[in-house]
Every structure is written in structure tokens, then in C-alpha cells.
Amino acid sequence: MAMIQKAKETMTSKQRVQKTFNYEKTDRVTIGYDSNPVIHKNLCAALGVDSNDYEAINEALGVDYRSINAPYIGPELFPAPKDRIINQLEGSVMRWVEHETGGYWDFCDFPLKNATDDMFESFAIPNPDHFDYDEALAKAKSYDNKYGLYVGNAGTPDVINSNGRIMGMEDVLCHLALESEAAMQFINRRADFQFSMLERTLEKCKGHIDFMWLGEDLGTQIAPMIGLDLYRDTLKPIHKRFAELALSYNIPSIIHTCGSSSWVYEDFIEIGIKGVDTLQPEAVNMSPEYLVKHFGGRLNFRGFISTAGPLAYGTVEDVRDDCIKTLDIVMPARGYHFAPTHQIQDNSPVENVLMMYQTAHIHGVY
């Protein structure tokens, strides 16, 4: 059975997360974990923990934060067709797709593709009343101030990607560019629901939450996905509303942005967003060197350990060297959360993933 050897720690995870967001010196870098199902199962087997016990794998890897979200307790909004599953909070449809190293649930069918105005108006959106906020508070209290706790996720509000899962990516981009009235009303209704649910969670869990997690995929690997004018006219007001909600509860927000997205980071800073997540180093203007030079000390960075680089295709030594190089560049700027760029993929060798986290504990010490 494998084991991650950890250096002596002088802070709780909660203290570490808070100080990281404030660019203060910590005992070691803050650590995060995201993975696809098959590599998660294989990693848990190597570490000798139950793959359904996420607390155990987080402890084994030294992950510093935990999610606090009110569970949905309302009626079924979307019945699932045969051989499909449906996200009850979105209405997005998924089918199982196998590949040579495992499989995953991939989005399909797109119920609002080529939608009429009536289809947008009648499409179900959850009621914020139908969530168990007491359960969210109970979960927050159960961690006894040990960990950094967050509300939200990479799908909040995630205008392009989450609506693309319902409409199809081509449709959502066209609706945004053309300012289609019915589609924009639907997008804003979904954002209103997410905002209300987060606000009620924050109010119920006041004093327990350390940051808000947001998301918006804005880049391809080589360029922006949309123009800056479109971002500022349409998406920025939505993002600003969520960032200001976090600030009203005296917590920072971090936003997940895949691909080449640094072109919008000055706008993030302007509206009060405190950190950026994913940070794919292969994408244009997303290397650790570039981001530290242009945004170091003004944004927290989470990611940089590429799931399409040595972690998947290199040797154990390659992974160690890549992690050390990244840590050496980013740690002096402070505000760094060591994590993979998006989910660790199923084709990543377990020994490489183990080395990734072992390196964080050895070389991520301040």
C-alpha cells in the first residue's frame, strides 16, 4: 500500500487556505484534488482507501478544502431516458462513453438545441426553496474548523459551458453573440437561481465558509472563445454579481477558467475576483512564468500541474521535475494552490499521481 509522506505541518488546513488567499506565508502550499472516476478508483486502491470515502482520500493526499453545498430535496424535474442520466439542477443529459483506459459520462442530446422561445420559457429551473440549508450547516459544523470550506463549484454560474450542456455549444455562443432575447432570459433565470441558492447557503453557514468557487470557460487552447466586448457586455455583469456576493460575506472568490483565458483577468480583478483556477500551462499566455509576471500578488493561482503533460505521458521523474519547476516559479508569489489542470485523466499512471502529491509535500514547504 502506498502512502504520501508529509512534512511537519504547523497550521490547520483552514488557516492555510485563508493565508493563501491573503498572500501570506504558509507552512506549505495549499493542496487540491480533482479526478475522473477511473483514476480516482485506481488511486484509492493504491492508497488502501475506499473509493467512496472522499474524506479518506482527501486526508491521504493532504487536500485542504471541503465543499459545502445544500443538497437538492425537491421533486424530480427531468426524467432520465433509457441509458441516460440527467443532472436535476441543469437538465443536461449524459451517456456513458467508454475508452481504452476507462470511461466517463459525456453530455449528449442537448434538450434546448434549436429551442423555440416557448421551450426556453417552460424549461424547468430548480426552486431555491427546495434545498436543505440546515444540512449544509450541519456539514460545515462537522468539520470543526479544520478545513477551508467553500460554496459553489466550477459550474457556477458558468454561462457558456453549463448552458452549452443544455443547448449545445454552437447554440449558446450564437445566442450570446446575437443577444437572443428568450435565450438570454433563460440564462439569467438560471443565474438568478444559482445566486439565490448560494446566498441562502452563505447566510445559513455564516462564519463557516472561507471562499466561493465560480466557473466560466473562456478560452480555447490558442485564443479567447469570445471577444472582450461580448464578455464585458454580457458575462461580466453576471460574474460581478457573484463576486460581490462573496465580498458581502467577507470571503474571496476563485473562478475556474479553462484554456487561454488570461486576457480577461484584469476584468476579474476589477470586479473583485481573488483567484483563478485550472491554468493549463500549454495554452497561450497561461504558463506559470507569464501569469506570475502579470498577475502575481493580485490573483491566487490554482492549478498548473498539467493533466495533458508529464502527469499523463511522462515518467515518475518527469512528473517530479515538472512539479518542482512549477513550485519554484509560483511559490515566491504566494497565493498558490497546488492542483491539477482540471480533472486528472484516466490515462494517468497511478505512480505519477502519487509522485505529484508527494512532491507537493516535499518541495511545497515554505
pLDDT at 4: 96
Give the whole-angstrom CA distance, residue 297 versus residue 32.
20
CB 278 within 8 A of CB 258: yes
Strands 275-278 and 253-257: parallel
Could you please report the per-residue DSSP string of 296-351? BTTBEEEEEE-TTTHHHHS-HHHHHHHHHHHHHHHGGG--EEEEESSSBPTTS-HH
Report the b/e string of 270-305 with b at 16+ CB within 10 A. ebbbbbbbbbbbebbebbbeebbeebbeebbbbbbb
Note whether residue 277 is domain-resident: yes
Residue 282: which CATH number? 3.20.20.210
Note whether residue 91 is domain-resident: no
- 194: Cβ contacts below 8 Å, ≥ 6 apart: 156, 157, 242
Query: Among 343, 334, 340, which Cα is nearest to 356's?
Result: 340
Give the whole-angstrom CA distance, residue 261 versus residue 202.
28
CB count within 10 Å of CB 364 equals 24
Handedness of CA 256, 258, 264, 266 (dihedral sign): positive
Note whether residue 5 is domain-resident: no
Q: pTM for this one?
A: 0.96
Note whether residue 106 is domain-resident: no
pLDDT at 340: 98
* Count of domains forming the chain: 1
Q: What is the DSSP letter of 220?
A: -
CB count within 10 Å of CB 174 equals 13
- What cell does 341 get? 489542470
Note whether residue 125 is domain-resident: yes
CA dist list (Å): 192 to 28, 66, 93, 197, 241: 38, 25, 22, 9, 10
**Furthest-apart CA pair in the chain: how many Å?**
60
Note whether residue 104 is domain-resident: no
Give the whole-angstrom CA distance, residue 255 versus residue 221.
18
Give the whole-angstrom CA distance, residue 262 versus residue 147.
29
Residue with cell 482527501: 58
Note whether residue 70 is domain-resident: yes
pLDDT at 366: 96
pLDDT at 100: 86
Give the whole-angstrom CA distance, residue 145 versus residue 154.
23
CA dist list (Å): 244 to 160, 225, 272, 305: 20, 25, 7, 29
| Structural domain for 355, as ranges | 13-77+113-363
Note whether residue 93 is domain-resident: no
Instruction: List beta partners, residue 166.
Output: none
Report the b/e string of 108-132 with b at 16+ CB within 10 A. eebbbeebeeeebeebeebebeebe
pLDDT in tens, the chain (366 residues): 899 999 999 999 999 999 999 999 999 999 999 999 999 999 999 999 999 999 999 999 999 999 999 999 999 999 999 999 999 999 999 999 998 888 889 999 999 999 999 999 999 999 999 999 999 999 999 999 999 999 999 999 999 999 999 999 999 999 999 999 999 999 999 999 999 999 999 999 999 999 999 999 999 999 999 999 999 999 999 999 999 999 999 999 999 999 999 999 999 999 999 999 999 999 999 999 999 999 999 999 999 999 999 999 999 999 999 999 999 999 999 999 999 999 999 999 999 999 999 999 999 999
